[in-house]
Structure formats: structure tokens, C-alpha cells
Amino acid sequence: MKRSEINNIMKSAVSFFNDCKFYLPEFAFWTLNEWREKGEEIHEILENKLGWDITDYGRGDFQNFGLIHFTIRNGNIKKIAGGGKPYCEKIMIIEEEQIIPMHHHYQKIEDIINRGGGLLMIQLYNTTKDDTLADSPITFFQDGIENNLKAGSIVELNPGDSITIKPEHFHKFWAKKGTGKVLIGEVSTVNDDYRDNVFIEDISRFSEIEEDEEPYYLLYDDYENFLDFEEIE
């Protein structure tokens, strides 16, 4: 992705968040100079990868395959035993018919919530031992209600609806055609997007960025490249 494309996506995302009356924390809007003025006091932001995350999964086609994330709070798997946060919260935006590719997580259990906008569609499979799609029926909870469906079933989430996705659940989701973009909430156990995503296809979790202009706001994958802090885990 070009940095200019990411910058434009961010500007549009902020407008949609505001329209939905969902407000991001102050650090979401820091300039590069403001980041560089900070010190040890922001170690949690850096270590736990809080902030912006925009990806096209390496396909170069964000309009059809991509997602806007903002990680609001997160723990660190290395620090849970010492009393660190065991949870994560994200807010996301998915465009109409835009797809998040089929994947699952080894560790993370998550609630995906339609916070507003259009209809969110989620396709579910169980996971085999060799990380492929199982043909067995899938059991999951939707707003605390147990459901049992055949493999590959598609669940439709209206605004306010949520679904619990466990580590053994492969899932793909998109915004239903004709209903508009969706504001998605995620509440989960600690999130590690560098090590805990398993995709069916051979794709990349993060995009390679062509730096054709200065960042509007930093992505959390930018921190090590743009900030000169000694300890960024």
C-alpha cells in the first residue's frame, strides 16, 4: 500500500468514527513530532501495540480485501502472569463487501460486535489439527445463546448483535452488499497479531508500505521504524 492511500483511509475512518459518536483516545491523533517528544511514559502503547492498524493483507486491493483497526487497549502475553492486562479491545471499520480473509487464532478468544452501520456477515468452520477447514458442525454462542450449525454456515449480525469466536473457529467476515460499511467492536483476550493469526491462504497480516508521503498518523507497525526508543517489544 502507498502511505498516501493509508493516510486517506485514516481521514475517512476518523470521519466515520465521529459520525458514529465513537471517539478515539488522544494518542490516535499525535503527529510524528509529538510521538518523538514522548518518553518512558508511553511504554505500554509501544509494547502492547496500541493504535492504528490498516491492512490489505498484502494483496494490493484494499477496497476488496482489507480492514481498518484501532487497538484501544491490550495486554502483553509475557506479562499476564505478573498481573498484566489479560484482555484487549479494538474498534474496526469494514467497507461494504470488503472481505477479511478466512483465519483463526491459536490463543485468542474474541467477541465480535456489530456496533453500527450495515449488516456484518461471518462464515464459520471448525479447525482441523493441520489448520484446514473441518466439515464438522460448528457450535458457537451468539449474544449468550448457543447455536449449532453445519460447517461453512454464515451468521448475520445486525447492529447490536455479537458472536463469540474461539481459537478453533476459522472465520471470514464482510459487510453485506447494500447495507453500508460497519463499525465493528472486538473484545478479546490478549491480542498478538504478529504471532497468532493462521490464514487459509498464503497472505500477509501486514502490508508493505511505499513511503510516498509523510504519515498522517502512525500505524502501530510503524513504531519501530519511526521512533527511536530502546525497548519496543
Say what the pLDDT of residue 80 is: 86
pTM: 0.94
Handedness of CA 81, 82, 87, 90 (dihedral sign): negative
Q: How far is CA 17 from the centre of its chain?
A: 15
| Residue 193 to residues 62, 141, 148, Cα–Cα distance (Å) | 18, 24, 29
How many helices (H) and strands (E) the chain has is answered by 4, 13
d(CA 157, CA 120): 5
pLDDT (tens digit per residue) in 69-81? 999 999 998 888 7
- Percent of the chain at pLDDT exceeding 70: 98
The amino acid occupying position 193 is: D
- Percent of the chain at pLDDT exceeding 90: 93
pLDDT (tens digit per residue) in 165-204? 999 999 999 999 999 999 999 999 999 999 999 999 999 9
Expressed in percent and rounded to 5, the helix, strand and coil fractions of the chain are: 20, 35, 45
The amino acid occupying position 25 is: P
Q: Provide mean pLDDT across the span 149-162.
A: 98
| β-sheet with 67-74: strand ranges across | 51-55, 67-74, 87-94, 182-189, 110-117, 162-165, 138-142, 145-149
CB contact set of 122 (below 8 Å; sequence gap of 6+):
112, 154, 155, 157, 163, 165, 171, 172, 173
pLDDT (tens digit per residue) in 97-136? 999 999 999 999 999 999 999 999 999 999 999 999 999 9
Say what the pLDDT of residue 230 is: 62
d(CA 123, CA 202): 19
pLDDT (tens digit per residue) in 19-49? 999 999 999 999 999 999 999 999 999 999 9
Give the domains, in start order, of the chain with CATH numbers. 3-226 (2.60.120.10)
